[in-house]
Structure formats: structure tokens, C-alpha cells
Amino acid sequence: MAKVLVFTEITSDNVKSVTYEILGKLAGNDVDVAAVGQVPAGAVTELAKYGAANVHSLKGDNLDKYSPEGYANALKEFIGNGGYDYVFAGSTSLAKDLIPRLSGMFDAGMASEVTNFTMDGGTFAGTRPLFAGKCLAKVEIEGPKPHFITVRPNALGMPTSENAAAGNAADASVNAGEIRAAIKEIIKGASEKLDLTEANIIVSGGRAMKEAANFKILDELADAIGATVGASRAAVDSGYAPHSMQVGQTGKTVAPSLYIACGISGAIQHLAGMRTSKCIVAINTDPDAPIFTKADYGIVGDLFQIVPILTEEFKKIM
Amino acid sequence: MNIFVCIKQVPDTETKITPNGDGTYIETSSIKWIMNPYDEFAVEQALLTKQANSGSTVTVVRVGGVKDTEALRTALAMGADDAILVESDDNLDSFMTAKALKGAIEKSGKTADVIFTGKQAIDDDCLQVPQLLAGMLNIPSVSVVVGCEEAGGAFTLKREVEGGALEVYEVKSPALIACNKGLNTPRYASLPGIMKAKRKPLAQHSLADVGVSDADRRVKYSNFQLPPEKPAGKKFEAMDEGVQASVVAEVVGLLRNEAKVI
Ligand SMILES: Cc1cc2nc3c(=O)[nH]c(=O)nc-3n(C[C@H](O)[C@H](O)[C@H](O)COP(=O)(O)OP(=O)(O)OC[C@H]3O[C@@H](n4cnc5c(N)ncnc54)[C@H](O)[C@@H]3O)c2cc1C
């Protein structure tokens, strides 16, 4: 049995769902959860249900806004005192930035964005995609502990069996130390929806969208099924959508349950970002478009005709 | 300013990847290598920073194979002043790479005022080296940077986070900046630039020279394999307006009852 810490983020009172995915896989180990700031009581109850023995709210000066140095210093001290063997986190923007720095402070190894893992006899072994998902490999960590692991959201799936633990809530005071790179301002994003990397359903548009205004039909479809809208690079480069919406090798890697590709040819660099989607629907006028070889359900048709019908059909059943 | 840029050579994005015989890495013999796409933005930002600060130098550093120094030459042709190659045939892990880069920068005799890197290498997709290197050098870092303004050694940086939001950081040099697509438009190497690049200094060190040994390995890879192929899907013809409603209804039914994703 290993002593494990799962680092989580709390956004608008909610724990990121990838945290529960990780907890589900860690059943049988001694697992604590920590977040910077106050973990709300409701979240503590929920985390306990999924196996958290102790839930730590880390508090200290200069931690109200994220900074790689401040968070890393604070966690360094907390993790060191706690004697953890492993530290897990969901592969969010924040964790991708923070966890490597933290692992280096312990002289320790880190496995990034695993899509599956085991903890046999308290030892971690993971699977992770490389070369934009064109290849998978087994990854193990050597050298000083704790070992650090980030997990891709939506990859493990939500736990199905109960694994309740005590869920004792505790406050810990931590020290952010000197912060040289500090956030001055946060500019809000275009979308209030779930980020592409966390979204469970994605509707993406390609070059065939023809202009930015036409993304409205994808927004309507997305609203009907609670999806986030993405785009191909051709759509982004043509100015139909911002880069933050790009899915693919030089965009975001996504792993939703359902990915609906509208007017996207299925170039290798686009597939790189979305091939691990559980179910892929493609709408394309070209019956030979490569995307159809990856699609579970392909519709050979004009997206401008199909998408509105699809939206109406979904509305009927949602 | 002493400006450093760290770059990597990676397989071209079109490359078909095949695991090698014993599954410890991929077959590399027939691969076309390119400069990691995100590193192009890093090189460009380094050159822009040099242009705005007279007397500055740009040094490119790479850890990798000796035979192929093309990415370094490309960066020199774009306008970097000198280059360092840390020779390594190995497929190093992020920790070893960061430690080798640190060693190479220190061996150059210059103290880095700013280090630019790509936000991620598109071969191992680890996103660790920039943060590790900054941590090892004990300098602040900002990653996934899409906006960079510099005045008097202070940087205002825009970092992209979830939902397209931007965090605006202020940091004084020394700092490490990991660049994302959208930051700038990388220049092409000019013909005179390419000719000049051949005569620019390129230092070569071994891993041992920069203080890295096998004891620094932290991550072990095995079982490289291709992802399982998906079984062929179902395809529906719906170019004809008459069938569209029934096709869409059928697909929605399958999404609910067969795929169970709605
Ligand atoms: C280094 C590098 C990195 C890259 N990174 C990315 C990346 O991150 N993401 C990415 O997406 N691409 C990336 N690309 C680009 C990629 O190679 C393709 O150019 C791009 O994905 C094509 O986008 P698209 O499918 O929207 O456009 P196109 O290839 O032009 O395809 C448009 C499709 O729409 C169909 N169509 C046209 N009209 C209609 C209609 N009315 N209804 C339905 N279908 C219609 C056409 O049949 C066609 O299949 C990268 C390329 C390189 C070299």
C-alpha cells in the first residue's frame, strides 16, 4: 500500500471531476486530497465518498492567485511533512505548469498525462500516449520519492463502485515564499463552457464552416447537448475561431465521450488531438474524407443541412 | 541581455510512427526530423528580444543526436549568434534533458537573463522540461505564453489557460518563458542567413561534460506499441434532402442506445 496525495483544484465550489476519476483508480491505497484554499464542506463529503481519508485545505499568504513558485513552495513543504510516496493531479493547465516544477524540487521523476495506471503492491505503472497519440508506452518512475503523476481528464472514467473513506477535513498552514512571477490580471475567456480538455461532448467545425458567423449553428447544437465547441486548425488559421478552440497536434488534446466533427477532413494532425474520443461522429460532403475511417458514425452530407436537423433531433430526446 | 533558446528535433508531424523491435522506443532510421513546432516561436521571440536590446546575444541549445544538427543550423540561419549541442544518442527523460540544458548554459560562461523554450515537445508530449529547468536554475517561469512584451528587462506575459482565458504575468529577468502558437510569426531563414550560419560557432559537449549520468534517469519507458485500431464504423448517405431527417434520427438513436454517450 502506498501513501498517496491527490492534488485538486476547486473552481466555483466544485472539485474537478478528474479528481474523482483518479480516486476511483487508487482504491486500496492510503489516499489524501489537498487543495490550495478552502475545500467546501460539500466537496469534502463527495471526496470522502470516493476514497479520501483526509482532505487538506492549504492556507497561507500570497496564495489567493496561482503562481508556479508560490504553489510549488507551499506544496513542497506540505508533501515533505506528509511523507507521501506518490502525488497525483489531473492534467489541467495549472497542474501541467506546477507539477513538473514541484517534481524537480524533490529531484524526483514525473509521468505526464497518463491515460491509465495500476498501483500493484503500491508501485505505480502507467500508460501514456506519445507522438500525439500515434503510439502508446508503459511508463514507470525511478529514483527519489515522492513520484509525481498527472492524469488526462476523461481518460479513466468515473468510478462505478463505492470506495468510501473517512474524509476528515483539516487545515494546514503553508508558506508561499518569494513569488517573482505574479499574476497581475486575468482576462476572461470567450467561453463560459467547460474547457475542451475537460469537456464530455465536443462539436468541432473545420474549414467548411466558411466564416466565423456560421459557428452559430455549432453553438446551437452544443447548447442542446451541453457540449463545448472546438475547431480545426484550418478554421482557426482562417480566422473563424480563436486558437484556444483548436483541437489537434498544435492545439488541444481532448478525450470526450462524444466528438462531432463537422466539415473536418481528418488530417493526421487533427486526429492527433481527438483520436482518443470514445465515440466519433463525422459529417462531411466527401464520402472519401479520411475522418470517416476514424468515425463510429459517419454522415455523408452537407453540414449546413445536417447540423440544424441534428440539433432539433437532440432537443427532442434531451 | 544573454538570451538562450532551447530547441529539440522531433519527427515531422506527418511521420508514421512504428515501435522498434524490443518496444523500448520507436524506429528512427527513416524519420524526417524537424525543429519542434513550438520552438520556432521561441527562436522568433528570442530574436525579437535581441533586436529590441542592442548588444544582446542569442544562444541556441539542444540536447540530442550528433549526426543531425539541422535544427541548430536553422536557428542560426534565422539569426541566433551561437549554438551548443549536448551530444546524446539516448532518448533521455525530461529530468536528464533539463539537467543537461542547465549544465550547457552554465558551461557557456554566460548567465542567462532570459530563456525561451517551446511549451511542449511534440514527440514525448511531456511538458516538463521548461518548468524543471527553471526550477533547477531557481528562476521564475511562465508557460503556454501567447503574448510577450519586454521593457528594460521586465516582461509582461500572457499565459493561456482553460476556456481561452489569459493570465497576465509580470516578471523581471532572469526568467524562463515557454512559448505557444499564436505568440508571433516565425521568420524564414534567408539565403545569406543560411550561408552565414555555416560559419557561426557550434560548441559540442558530451552528457558527462555537462554533469549528466545514467543515475539521473527518473522515468523508464517500455512496451511501445501502436494504439488499438477501432473497428470500422457505420456510414450513412445523406446528401439527398429526402433522407436527411431519417438518417439523423437513426444516428441520434444509435448514440443513445448503442454508443450510450447521450
Ligand atoms: C505542424 C502542423 C501542425 C498542425 N496542427 C494541427 C492541429 O492542431 N489541428 C488541426 O486541426 N490541424 C492541424 N494541422 C493542419 C492539418 O494538416 C490540416 O490542414 C487541417 O486539420 C485541415 O482542417 P480542415 O479539416 O478543417 O480543412 P480541410 O482539410 O480543408 O477539410 C475541410 C473538409 O470539409 C468538407 N466539407 C466542405 N464543405 C462541406 C459542407 N458543406 N459540409 C460538410 N463537409 C464539408 C470537405 O470535404 C473537407 O473534408 C497541422 C499541420 C501541421 C503541418
How far does Cα B88 stand from its chain's mean position?
A: 17
Nearest CA residue ID for atom 7, ligand 1? A248
Ramachandran bin of A94, using left for φ above 0, alpha for ψ from -120 to 50, beta for the remaining angles: alpha
Helix axes B94-107, A93-105, angle to 10 degrees: 70
Dihedral (Cα; B97, B103, B109, B115), 10-degree rounding: 30
Return d(Cα A204, Cα A18) in angstroms, integer. 23
Asked whether A218 and A314 are in contact (CB, 8 A), the reply is no
Asked whether B7 and B61 are in contact (CB, 8 A), the reply is yes
Per-residue pLDDT tens digits for B37-88? 999 999 999 999 999 999 999 999 999 988 778 999 999 999 999 999 999 9
Ordered alpha helix ranges (H), B35-154: 37-52, 70-78, 94-107, 129-137
A contact residues 53-72, partner B, Cβ 8 Å cutoff: 66, 68-69, 72
Helix (H) or strand (E) holding B9: strand B9-11
Does the distance separating the beta carbons of B123 and A131 come in below 8 Å?
Answer: yes
Q: Which residues of B are less than 8 Å from A293 in CB distance?
A: 232
pLDDT-derived band at A300 (thresholds 50, 70, 90) equals very high
Q: How far apart are the first and last CA of chain A?
A: 43
Per-residue pLDDT tens digits for B90-107? 789 999 999 999 999 999
Cell of A100: 513538473
pLDDT-derived band at B225 (thresholds 50, 70, 90) equals very high
pLDDT at A13: 82
Q: In angstroms, what CA-CA distances link B84 with A100, A310, B62, B103?
A: 24, 56, 6, 11
pLDDT-derived band at A160 (thresholds 50, 70, 90) equals confident
Section A164-189 average pLDDT: 95
Asked whether B72 and B215 are in contact (CB, 8 A), the reply is no
pLDDT at A187: 94
Q: Which residues of B are less than 8 Å from A66 in CB distance?
A: 167
Phi first, then psi: what are they for B119, rounded to 5°?
-75, -20
Strand runs (DSSP E) across chain A, as ranges? 3-7, 10-11, 14-15, 30-36, 54-59, 86-90, 110-114, 116-118, 125-130, 135-141, 147-151, 168-173, 182-187, 201-205, 228-231, 258-262, 279-284, 297-300
- What percent of chain B shows pLDDT beyond 90? 93
A contact residues 202-261, partner B, Cβ 8 Å cutoff: 225, 242-245, 249-251, 253, 257-258
Section A287-309 average pLDDT: 98
How far does Cα A237 stand from its chain's mean position?
A: 25
Section B103-129 average pLDDT: 97
Work out the burial of residue A305: count CB atoms within 10 Å of its CB; fewer than 13 is exposed, 13-18 middle, 19 or more buried: middle
Q: Three-class SS string for B71-103?
A: HHHHHHHHCCCEEEEEECCCCCCHHHHHHHHHH
Indicate the average pLDDT of chain A. 96
Cell of A188: 476572461
Return d(Cα A21, Cα B91) in angstroms, integer. 31
Task: For ligand 1, pick from A217, A264, A281 the residue to mutate: most ligand atoms within 8 Å of CB.
Answer: A264
Work out the burial of residue B192: count CB atoms within 10 Å of its CB; fewer than 13 is exposed, 13-18 middle, 19 or more buried: exposed
Could you tell me which of B184, B182, B141 has the C-alpha nearest to residue B49? Answer: B184
Does the distance separating the beta carbons of B254 and A186 come in below 8 Å?
Answer: no
A291: CB partners within 8 A, 6+ apart: A261, A264, A265, A266, A271, A280, A282, A284, A298
Section B143-153 average pLDDT: 97
Return d(Cα A309, Cα A296) in angstroms, integer. 19
Section A178-194 average pLDDT: 88
Could you give the ipTM of this predicted complex?
0.95
Dihedral (Cα; A262, A263, A269, A271), 10-degree rounding: 40
The DSSP symbol for A271 reads H
Return d(Cα B19, Cα B28) in angstroms, integer. 9
Asked whether A16 and A9 are in contact (CB, 8 A), the reply is yes
pLDDT at A308: 98
Section A35-45 average pLDDT: 96
pLDDT at B90: 72
Indicate if the pLDDT at residue A176 is higher than 80.
Answer: yes
Indicate the average pLDDT of chain B. 96
Does the distance separating the beta carbons of B222 and A138 come in below 8 Å?
Answer: yes
DSSP letters, B186-245, are: PPPPPHHHHHHHTTS-EEEEETGGGT--GGG--EEEEEEEPPPPPPP-EEEE--SHHHHH
Q: Which of A280, A299, A305 sits opposite B236 (nearest CB)?
A: A299
Return d(Cα B221, Cα A204) in angstroms, integer. 34
pLDDT at A51: 97
Indicate if the pLDDT at residue B208 is higher than 90.
Answer: yes
Return d(Cα B169, Cα B103) in angstroms, integer. 28
Per-residue pLDDT tens digits for A50-105? 999 999 999 999 999 999 999 999 999 999 999 999 999 999 999 999 999 999 99
pLDDT at B66: 83
pLDDT at B68: 78
Section A6-31 average pLDDT: 94
pTM: 0.95
Place of cell 514525473: A110
Per-residue pLDDT tens digits for A248-260? 999 999 999 999 9
Strand partners, B94: none
Strand A279-284 and strand B234-237: pairing? unpaired
- What percent of chain B shows pLDDT beyond 70? 100
Section A159-173 average pLDDT: 93
pLDDT at A189: 81
Helix (H, G, I), strand (E, B) or coil at A170: strand
Q: Which of B122, B164, B218 sits opposite A141 (nearest CB)?
A: B218
**Peptide bond preceding A242 in cis form (omega within 30 of 0):** no
pLDDT-derived band at A161 (thresholds 50, 70, 90) equals confident
Section B2-16 average pLDDT: 96
Q: Which of B143, B170, B235 sits opposite A184 (nearest CB)?
A: B170
